[in-house]
Amino acid sequence: MVAYVLHRHPALLLDPALGEGAFFRAAKRYAECGGFTLTMHGRDIDPEILIHARESGLSDADLQHVELKDFVLEPPREQFPAIVANPPYIRHHRLTTEQKQLLRHYAQAATGRHIDGRAGLHVYFLIRALQSLSPHGRLAYIVSADICEGVFARQLWGWICEKFRLDGVITFSTGAAPFPDVDTNALIFLLANEPPVPEFDWVVCHTRETAPLLAVLEQQVPPGEAVTVHRRTVTEALSTGLSRPPQAEAVSRFTLGDFASVMRGIVTGDNDFFFLTSAQRDKLGIPAGLFVRAVGRTRDVSGDHLTLDDMDRLDENGRPTYLLSLNGTAFDALPMSVQQYLREGERRGIPEKVLIQTRKPWYRMEHRQVPPFLFAYLGRRSSRFIRNQAGVVPLTCLMCIYPHLTDSAFIERLWRVISHPETVANLRLVGKSYGGDAIKVEPRALERLPLPDALVVESGLHQYLQQKQGALDFR
Ligand SMILES: C[S@@+](CC[C@H](N)C(=O)[O-])C[C@H]1O[C@@H](n2cnc3c(N)ncnc32)[C@H](O)[C@@H]1O
């Protein structure tokens, strides 16, 4: 990152989120090796940081231009030819209402676009960093992939790529993650205050060593096993998502939404109260018929099939699998054991809980048909489809996949396609990436999951679509 911004030996560098000063130390080494004079400016809001920066080997002279000020809301007056940053990663719900208001106002004024309020501080930091670049200046920015996957991403990157030149995006394969202990997929953006160009390098590092990456970027060696480079158009990358690999032309004609719809699992509002083991249920004396069998955690499903035996095993191990599923039956018409349990819930304040308040009556549970397939959308273990042979409904940790047709041959064929590794690999095209292999996919995005053409045709699934489209559109 430092090599990119100092490539032309500028006189000034800014690190707007100094921390312990890793970039200052690298920049100092780089300038010494290159034989040029560099003045380093820094920002942070944490007064303790200067102590840590000194402990990390920086001198008072190195730190003389560090100011303790908020970079976004109290920016430096001058512009810089080189900026390098590892910004604070503060998501929107950890910002105060006042901070959010100021930041949104700032983003609107700076970009002329509406940046959705779900943007975190690292998004506003990037806008401010770009505004602080002098003409021809360079910025290297390391940040979580959500900066190009969140709801605000289209507006943000539309603005950036209209005003600045995107030189590169550096990504890391699982074994090479720069922050291996953190559940986040980090990317580095290399941007210059130059007129935009149509193409840029999208780089994948397969090693944590710096030397192979530098050698490739400085064009001393061609890309190889340690570092791969895709030359991409900005237009394609923006529509695919900058954190995602380039899409081979027309990935597929078919998406999951052509064959099935997706719904989130049940939100109980209070699992401790509504979601019980058989032992708890029996102790309370509540009739078994008032419960539906449900799976509550991704971890409770170990493979890609879920059977009733698995459910019974979970119950034996003390995991809840029985969801108290009361409909709108009037309180007085419920069995006495249930009335007593609900009164106990009222004493515990359950009806006042946020999600439960709006329900009428408060104990009415959300309803889901049993879906033939479930989808585990986030977890340390990779996201996957699950065949629901147990006939259970999922709580909100899993999604429900409902095929458009109920005939068993259709469902079999669809399973063959969605459980195939090539389909699962396409998840990264529609999901948000986290650390390791974890991907988070929202229901609507999952419906956009491309199903590989060859698999759809081979399974015979396409015939249903054609037949149906000819007769009755089932979408
Ligand atoms: C991820 S750390 C930077 C790490 C740093 N590059 C290093 O070498 O250690 C982010 C830093 O941003 C600082 N910070 C948080 N909010 C800030 C703001 N509004 N303006 C400037 N710095 C801020 C934090 O105190 C923290 O030290």
pLDDT tens sequence across 367-389: 999 999 999 976 555 678 999 99
Ordered DSSP codes for 164-184:
SEEEEEEEE-GGG-SSTTSSS
Reported as a pLDDT band with limits 50, 70 and 90, residue 470 is very low
Give the position, in ligand 1's atom list, of the atom nearest the Cα of 21.
8
Taking 80 as the threshold, does the pLDDT of residue 255 lie above it? yes
Centre of ligand 1 to C-alpha 7, Å, is 24
Taking 90 as the threshold, does the pLDDT of residue 288 lie above it? yes
Q: Is 43 touching ligand 1 by the criterion CB < 6 Å?
A: yes
Closest Cα to atom 4, ligand 1: which residue? 19
Question: Which one of 1, 46, 125 would you pick to mutate in the ligand 1 pocket, going by the greatest count of ligand atoms within 8 A of its CB?
Answer: 46
Centre of ligand 1 to C-alpha 18, Å, is 5
- What value does the mean pLDDT take over residues 143-166? 93
- What value does the mean pLDDT take over residues 49-58? 95
Centre of ligand 1 to C-alpha 305, Å, is 45
Task: Please name the residues in contact with 208: beta carbons below 8 A apart, sequence gap of 6 or more.
Answer: 175, 176, 178
Taking 50 as the threshold, does the pLDDT of residue 473 lie above it? no
Number of neighbours of residue 222 by Cβ within 10 angstroms: 9
Number of neighbours of residue 470 by Cβ within 10 angstroms: 8
Q: What is the pLDDT of residue 248?
A: 58
Give the position, in ligand 1's atom list, of the atom nearest the Cα of 70.
20
Cα(258)–Cα(462) distance, integer angstroms = 10
Q: Is 90 touching ligand 1 by the criterion CB < 6 Å?
A: no
Q: Is 49 touching ligand 1 by the criterion CB < 6 Å?
A: yes
Per-chain mean pLDDT for the chain: 91
Q: What is the pLDDT of residue 474?
A: 34
- What value does the mean pLDDT take over residues 2-24? 97
Q: Is 251 touching ligand 1 by the criterion CB < 6 Å?
A: no
Q: What is the pLDDT of residue 379?
A: 56
What are the φ and ψ backbone dihedral angles of 186, each rounded to 5 degrees?
-90, 145
Give the position, in ligand 1's atom list, of the atom nearest the Cα of 46.
25
- What value does the mean pLDDT take over residues 288-303? 93
Reported as a pLDDT band with limits 50, 70 and 90, residue 218 is confident
3-state secondary structure of 43: strand
Closest Cα to atom 10, ligand 1: which residue? 88
Q: Is the dihedral of CA 230, 237, 430, 438 positive or negative?
A: positive
Q: What is the pLDDT of residue 303?
A: 87
Q: Where are the beta strands (DSSP E) in 173-299?
A: 186-192, 199-205, 227-233, 254-255, 260-264, 275-276, 291-295
Q: Where are the alpha helices (DSSP H) in 112-227?
A: 121-131, 153-163, 211-217
Question: Which one of 1, 67, 86, 147 would you pick to mutate in the ligand 1 pocket, going by the greatest count of ligand atoms within 8 A of its CB?
Answer: 86
- What value does the mean pLDDT take over residues 39-46? 97
Centre of ligand 1 to C-alpha 226, Å, is 30
Centre of ligand 1 to C-alpha 87, Å, is 6
Q: Is 270 touching ligand 1 by the criterion CB < 6 Å?
A: no
Q: Is 17 touching ligand 1 by the criterion CB < 6 Å?
A: yes
Q: What is the pLDDT of residue 174?
A: 78
Which residues of the chain does CATH 3.40.50.150 include?
2-240
Centre of ligand 1 to C-alpha 102, Å, is 19
Centre of ligand 1 to C-alpha 163, Å, is 26
Pick from 252, 258, 245, 259: which is nearest to 454 by CA? Answer: 252
Q: What is the pLDDT of residue 246?
A: 84
Task: Please name the residues in contact with 364: beta carbons below 8 A apart, sequence gap of 6 or more.
Answer: 326, 327, 328
Reported as a pLDDT band with limits 50, 70 and 90, residue 437 is low
Centre of ligand 1 to C-alpha 241, Å, is 26
Centre of ligand 1 to C-alpha 43, Å, is 8
Of residues 344 and 178, which shows the higher confidence score? Answer: 344
Q: Where are the beta strands (DSSP E) in 257-382?
A: 260-264, 275-276, 291-295, 305-306, 322-324, 373-376
Q: Is 46 touching ligand 1 by the criterion CB < 6 Å?
A: yes
Q: What is the pLDDT of residue 468?
A: 43
Q: Is 86 touching ligand 1 by the criterion CB < 6 Å?
A: yes
Cα(204)–Cα(245) distance, integer angstroms = 9
Q: Is 45 touching ligand 1 by the criterion CB < 6 Å?
A: yes
Centre of ligand 1 to C-alpha 71, Å, is 9
Whole-number percent of the chain with pLDDT over 70? 95
Taking 70 as the threshold, does the pLDDT of residue 435 lie above it? no
Centre of ligand 1 to C-alpha 376, Å, is 34
Closest Cα to atom 8, ligand 1: which residue? 22
- What value does the mean pLDDT take over residues 393-409? 94
Reported as a pLDDT band with limits 50, 70 and 90, residue 466 is low
Report the length, in residues, of the chain. 475
Q: Is 102 touching ligand 1 by the criterion CB < 6 Å?
A: no
> Among 78-92, 250-264, 333-347, where is mean pLDDT lowest?
250-264
The domain made up of 260-471 is a member of CATH 3.40.50: no
Reported as a pLDDT band with limits 50, 70 and 90, residue 244 is confident
- What value does the mean pLDDT take over residues 294-322? 95
pLDDT digit string, tens, across residues 120-141 = 999 999 999 999 999 999 999 9
- What value does the mean pLDDT take over residues 41-51? 95
Of residues 102 and 93, which shows the higher confidence score? Answer: 102
Q: What is the pTM of this model?
A: 0.69
Q: What is the pLDDT of residue 471?
A: 33
CATH for 2-240 (3.40.50.150, 3.30.360.10, 3.90.1280.20, 3.10.310.10): 3.40.50.150
pLDDT digit string, tens, across residues 169-192 = 999 987 888 887 777 789 999 999
